[in-house]
Structure 1
């Protein structure tokens, strides 16, 4: 009898405990199983699936060098996955399956059912610290980020993090005569502008850590500056381990854990936010179902603003920073983090559209779409989530635009119809365009002052209902 390695979102040799132990058991077979209908139901974007496909083909070649044959089993649902995986185990005589765990509720339910029919062993491999290792004095998950961050840092400094599997599986020198050519039957979008993870780790991340991370605290808010690392898509699909990232970060900056006010700590702070959101997903299962974290929003009745939502989706709001951000998302499969906050606040506050619609739209387009971070971010913007901004904090898209795209270079890149608008008018071009009779750009969808007051009144009214 043999062991089967189940590839999930762990397309890497580095920090891959399931693969590590599979090789110790002389594993000769690995499997990747699609779930097309489930992917669509969960709004997985075409660009992310293409990104996964590219990494699966690379990973398959690497496993072939290690003497492991990769088989792709095409399924539509998790139920079908269980059935076909059980059949495949019988066909190759596999007595056990090794895989890295997934924290999402539906995936955990699938694994629980599957463990009733096959010998399934799961390992945690998608966070820096083990799930549940950072708790408050009541042995519960934190509900506020700052104390979680302090506790997280204390655990890391006192206990360290598991490094057993870092570089535990060195690349093989064995030649592969034929490259894998797996292709998913899914509506894909080209992801080739994003290098494969091993190229990113060799060339992109080292340059970021040496040249850019010290300026990250300032540059990250300006979308026209390439001041972010771009690592989120790789963490999302598991092509890069977060443990490898923090190991490299500490190697470059040994004292980073001691000074939370240092500019370089700002980037580490984003990694800790990722850990926070993923632990919330596991600790509060209803978040997997897109329930509001704050129960007082349970009966919140979002207005039906279908036309406004469509205008937002189609970059037709009349607010250049919002429309340029939405164009960036649809054209590239990615959106700058500051812009994600701006467009989410605008949709939920100025347009009073249910955050779940925005969350789904982002998932359908983002290469780094992740349930924990995406839903957490949207609830933060809408004021309904864990440690969210209060409902009365409403970003003004014009002042945000003036502050973070002061020369309008980002706006002009994605809204070429505004290329010739003078700088004086670039953040509010309607007056200028009207003066020259130019109808190429949309009028403002709402009056910001009126929409802000309307949002405040609506939130107050809805939250006071039944109290």
Structure 2
């Protein structure tokens, strides 16, 4: 009998390890609940809830194929080898199948499980699944991992031209086993269940992920490049949470985008090309995680920036976290995060630069806060984005490029629609005033809206001075803007 150990791959279709396990004979699935590990990784309560809801849908789909889903607890990943070994011995499992995961803890966990199983002559098979290319296979001419996205993308394009990663078939129904599926818990202690309002933004299941992908590719992808930066418009795919939990695969996304663009990823429709580019950014940051393990350990990608004199400003940090900065676009974005578990990508950059540059607060504070609230929280993408914004990462924004939240607001939320949706106390202001109520002065200001917690121009100068004082500064061009 074969065992498929599900992790961040909660789907039936195009699931490499599941397809391989089912192809070898009767198969059982297992999912490990690891609440202590999730807390250590700052996984958001809404994200844990989303996984469980998707797991329940998947359990039903697997049940229709007579594949039982077992739930076991390994509170911490250190316990995974023991828990899985006992299960394998109990069910007389021949081999365990997994899709590769990345990050130092994930890699150590899988190595320990593989060692424990192989010592008892139980097979261990791991597959490339959440990426197009295996980390370590896309390298510079000198054999190192890329540090600049545009160069990485160029090699990816060459590889994709030669061979596109294909999709794998879903398992066929198998003969019923005498094993009952376990009930998927509705909630895990230590993770507060989100309200129905948040859940309604993120229905669970592959059918919903596919529906979003199809709707995006049919109606929206052509406008993606021109509309993706406008938070009041439905310009993005809203698939990030489904990709992070593996409810849909990057291959499914790539094939759908290519189909809409006559098989092209470098030419043709600019919207499709731009969106495929975003899939490659996701890929790039996961390769960085493997090639430069320090980013998994809360270290800056650019070591010289570890010397930055970050400010200890707990009250300003709290105002940022609680959406009380007095800058409407920042507060609107933070409220979107707190209420929906998601934030528009352009705004992720704007609020991250505000925290790390205008407030000069360590990017790790922001990275942690995002992980604790994001339904699509993903170590590689979240770390990559925060380090890009704070000029400590790969391809990072040159330290002197500091987004001004007011000009970003006027440019990308011109009518103030996004601001008014999330900061309704500003509804009485016109589209010019809504970006900066402080300009109105106390007399005509908005009574229940705070004044800005920082002066944008003096705080910008303070950030520039802090970066200029670094011992050995290397300016990096390009970036994920």
Question: TM-score if structure 1 supplies the norm length?
Answer: 0.94
Please say if 1:205 is aligned against 2:213.
yes
Give, in whole Å, the separation in 1 of the partners of 2:85 and 2:97.
13
Paired residue for 1:450?
458
The equivalent position to 2:145 in structure 1, one of 141, 144, 152, is: 141
Please say if 1:62 is aligned against 2:61.
yes
SS at match of 1:117: helix
Task: Trace 1:396-407 onto structure 2 (pairs within 5 A).
Answer: 396-407=404-415
The equivalent position to 2:371 in structure 1, one of 356, 363, 379, is: 363
Paired residue for 1:91?
90
Paired residue for 1:123?
127
Give, in whole Å, the separation in 2 of the partners of 1:438 and 1:243.
49
Please say if 1:424 is aligned against 2:432.
yes
CA apart distance, 1:187? 2.4
Paired residue for 1:287?
295
Deviations 1:227-278 (A, max 9, x none): 1001111110111010111112112212432328823211111001011001
CA apart distance, 1:103? 1.2
SS at match of 1:257: coil
Segment of structure 1 superposing worse, 275-284 or 243-252: 243-252
Paired residue for 2:162?
158
Segment of structure 1 superposing worse, 225-234 or 299-308: 299-308
Q: 8 Å contact 1:350–1:451 — kept in the other structure?
A: yes
Give, in whole Å, the separation in 1 of the partners of 2:354 and 2:443.
27
Q: 8 Å contact 1:14–1:168 — kept in the other structure?
A: yes
Give, in whole Å, the separation in 2 of the partners of 1:207 and 1:67.
31
Task: Trace 1:58-457 onto structure 2 (pairs within 5 A).
Answer: 58-118=57-117, 119=122, 120-163=124-167, 165=168, 167-169=169-171, 180-185=183-188, 186-190=191-195, 191-259=199-267, 262-432=270-440, 434-436=442-444, 438-457=446-465
- Unpaired segments of 5 or more residues in structure 1? none
Segment of structure 1 superposing worse, 55-64 or 373-382: 55-64
SS at match of 1:286: helix
Which ranges of 4 or more aligned residues in structure 1 deviate by more than 6 Å?
Answer: none
Segment of structure 1 superposing worse, 282-291 or 83-92: 83-92
- Unpaired segments of 5 or more residues in structure 2? 474-481
CA apart distance, 1:92? 1.7
Number of paired residues?
A: 460
CA apart distance, 1:112? 0.9
Q: 8 Å contact 2:286–2:380 — kept in the other structure?
A: yes
SS at match of 2:95: strand
SS at match of 2:307: coil
Q: 8 Å contact 2:57–2:205 — kept in the other structure?
A: no
Give, in whole Å, the separation in 1 of the partners of 2:184 and 2:275.
36
1:170–1:94 distance in 2 versus 1, CA, 3 Å: closer
SS at match of 2:39: helix
SS at match of 1:423: coil
1:107–1:464 distance in 2 versus 1, CA, 3 Å: closer
Q: 8 Å contact 2:6–2:29 — kept in the other structure?
A: yes
Q: 8 Å contact 1:38–1:77 — kept in the other structure?
A: yes
Give, in whole Å, the separation in 1 of the partners of 2:446 and 2:403.
28
CA apart distance, 1:279? 0.7
CA apart distance, 1:433? 6.3
RMSD value, Cα:
2.1
Give, in whole Å, the separation in 1 of the partners of 2:298 and 2:114.
27
SS at match of 2:136: coil
Deviations 1:30-80 (A, max 9, x none): 110011011011110111111110111111111122222111112310112
Segment of structure 1 superposing worse, 135-144 or 426-435: 426-435
Give, in whole Å, the separation in 2 of the partners of 1:438 and 1:382.
32
SS at match of 2:69: strand
Q: 8 Å contact 2:438–2:445 — kept in the other structure?
A: no
Give, in whole Å, the separation in 1 of the partners of 2:269 and 2:220.
17
SS at match of 2:367: helix
1:202–1:282 distance in 2 versus 1, CA, 3 Å: closer
Give, in whole Å, the separation in 1 of the partners of 2:143 and 2:268.
25
Give, in whole Å, the separation in 2 of the partners of 1:437 and 1:207.
42
Q: 8 Å contact 1:433–1:439 — kept in the other structure?
A: no
1:104–1:389 distance in 2 versus 1, CA, 3 Å: same
